[in-house]
Amino acid sequence: MSSHAISPEEQRYQASGNLEAFWKSRLDKKDPVARIGYALWVSNTDKLKHAIETGDAKYWNFKGFTYWEFMARSTVVNLAVGLEKCGFRGNFSKTKEQIKKVGKAVAYWHIEYVKKDFDKKIGKIPGKLSLKQMADYHQQAFKQLIFPATFMAAPG
């Protein structure tokens, strides 16, 4: 089993905004959150399909390409709706830019929480974050971008 530790290369990917490379590296380490991260930021859906079809079915929760592609698309829609609910008014291109900022912030806080998990020996598997840790760092990312805590709440 490979380490879930954050590599200097992963930090460079995040800092430069190369979210596809960041999440692919995390995917290769079988970081559970990397499944959706990679699905969100992959530049070509054939790459996602290949990763799923050649990967460990258990790691992918025995879900196929259609499931993960749908999860990524619905996440993008939820982000766009959340931005609008927070008062953002931009065209498609500007909305994509804002979503990328969110993605970069989420990756940053993922790195910080994985490091903290290692340093403080929080989880059973160092660097493998719990659902609560993941929810907490998403809130940190939204807070950093001055979105309210309810940013990801379902529209309604």
Whole-angstrom CA distances from 47 to 10, 37, 41, 43, 103 are 19, 13, 11, 8, 19
pTM listed for this prediction: 0.89
Choice between 61 and 148, residue whose per-residue pLDDT is larger: 61
Q: What percent of the chain has pLDDT over 90?
A: 71
Residue 154 has a pLDDT of 42
What mean pLDDT value characterizes the chain?
90
pLDDT band at 150 (very low <50, low <70, confident <90, very high): low
Average pLDDT for 124-152:
82
Provide the residue ranges of all domains of the chain, joining segments of one domain with +: 8-144
Report whether pLDDT(37) > 70: yes
